[in-house]
Structure 1
Amino acid sequence: MTCADFRVDATAAVAVGKVGGTDHPLWVELPVDMGPELKHLRYFVAVAEDLSFSRAARRLYVSQQALSRIIQQLEHQLGVKLFERTTRSVRLTSAGQAMLGPARQSIAAAEDALKTAQRAGSGGYQRSLRVDISSSGLQTGAVLLRHFRQLHPQIPVLQIEEGVTRGLVALQEGRLDVLLGLATHCPIEIAAEVIRRETVVLGTAADHPLADLEVVPVARLADFELLLPTEEAAVEWVEFVAQFCRQAGIRVRRWPGVTYGSHGAADVLRERLCVTPTTRWHEPPADLVFRPLVEPVPVFSWAMMIAPAVENTPQVKAFVECARLVAKQYDWLLPRQDDMFREADATS
């Protein structure tokens, strides 16, 4: 084959060589629309923010002619006008306005990807710590996250509040790193470590009859409806409450309504529609009271549940170390001498 026997079919993007009088394809380039480059998006955002090609060009350290040419290429590629230009002004078209927000997000995502790669290459943290604390209204998760952010400000935290039932699924599917809660339903392949044994209290309105008691025997709950989550959201908590009520010889009377979060719970408690067994709240409202439950004393075992695929990652190891430090600092694991209810202890 000689140079004269070689040709490129531009329409089909096929390089053809003649061998023995017959055409044979040497390579084929399939037409692929790669979409706008990141550089095009940066230039578009600069012009959109300055509404001036000359100012944007100075900011980008390129000539005004080069910037104008790149914007024209982008408009040609998209098939829409992004700017309305006159001799005196530049303004975004409706298409340009629609594109500005996503363009900024794309640039930010690309920059984050580059920083993540750099951190990974230098032995740093690769991504956010994804942790489900069950509820930010409860003391345990809120305290842990506050200490973790103070100790490790360089690790971004993605805080999730879906609860144990959904959290266990997320752990198994790789969508979550750490889950806080009762580990009675935790599969054997997921590591669980108890970090706090917390006695349960009863939340009521300040003017509720039970608020006058210093401690509330569990048997007294037989006369009142209890605010509980749905079994779909927190079956482990519903079972836990049913267990200590059975031990006291009573059945649970569930309030028929459902609330989401501590604010919603506080509203129905204030109206004296129900009472709620709970662990301690992070910032309890002044018009609610919380009394210890006794006879028996229910003890809730907070556990860290960790996805096996991430338990040795730097961010998860840092969280585990922080949780152990906080547990020691606040004596969260000290054995108690009172009548503890241990049937639901995740370590048993």
Structure 2
Amino acid sequence: MFSLKNPSYPEFLCEAPSGVLCVDIHPQHPHMIVCGLKDGNVAVFNLQNKNKKPTHISDARNGKHKDVVWQIRWVKDNLDGYLNFYSVSGDGRVTNWTIVKTCLWYTDELHIGYNKGIIDGLLKKHLLDSGRAIAFKPDEDNIFLVGTDEGMVYLATTQYSSQYLMSYQAHSTPVYNIQWNKYIPEIFLTCGAEFVVKIFHKSSSKPILRFDVGSQVGDIAWAPYSSTVFAVVTVEGKVNVYDLHLNKYNPICVQSVVPKKKASLNNIAFNKAEPIIIVGDSAGNVHALKLSPNLRKKTKDAQLALYNQDLAGAYQAEIKKLDRLLAQIVHIVQPQEQEEEEKEQTT
């Protein structure tokens, strides 16, 4: 765990029994860290403890995944007040983990079925697709998206796991990341191991916007300060920043971070309070970049609201900005209308 005040030496050091592929910090309890491991286990660290070892860890008798844990996410405390999180793995399981005193309880919320070209009913029942990414809807705790190795994205709910609410053929390669837009949580962003980034509306199986980055994408992130800004990192070592309000087709900034011969970029995250982004590369280095004022421009309505210290008004101004953009781009097809269109095509 590093601090920007002293980037040359870590503030905390935790030791995991296997390689760490994903990590998440609890939004309300920043001393609680959860990690997904290469051997299929999940581990929880409490930075308030002096011990560098995990306070909770799964094992083969207690829900260990049979493949790599690709992504892990803290969620809100359950009804009993216990901390809990979700993991998605290459074994096709989406698992909920609950920390109860010294124990780690697990429940498999979803088994991701493999549906491509499978005719045999028995085989289809037992064959699973590998999970790669997971994202919970900001305004509905029970709704989440899961991305797979086959490029599919499924909308599902924790209330039942027998079927998906919606399916999206997002990519033809493994889905690397999915992110909901926090201002209009019907919109989400996806990327895969290809040159294309796509924006979807929850009610439509087809993307409403797609962007050809010109290089294989490593990761994506929505900006927390704007409803229309997102960033993309590529294997060529570049960060592309898009602002749909200013330009719906091309990035407003392309910044080279590392030479492509030395490393590729594979992770990006925005600071929620400061105009800073953190970028990780394949050589194990982490780069902190400051966003210029041109990359975080506000509309006049948002500027006026912030000047009057009206945070709610500034938030509504961001929602209106994205709403106007969506009205210009596309008519959202509702699921019922979509079914009728598909029936017309088949007849």
The higher-RCO structure (CA 8 Å, 6+ apart) is 1
TM-score (norm. length: structure 1): 0.22
- Kindly indicate which of the two structures has a greater share of residues assigned to strand: 2
Q: Which has the larger radius of gyration?
A: 1
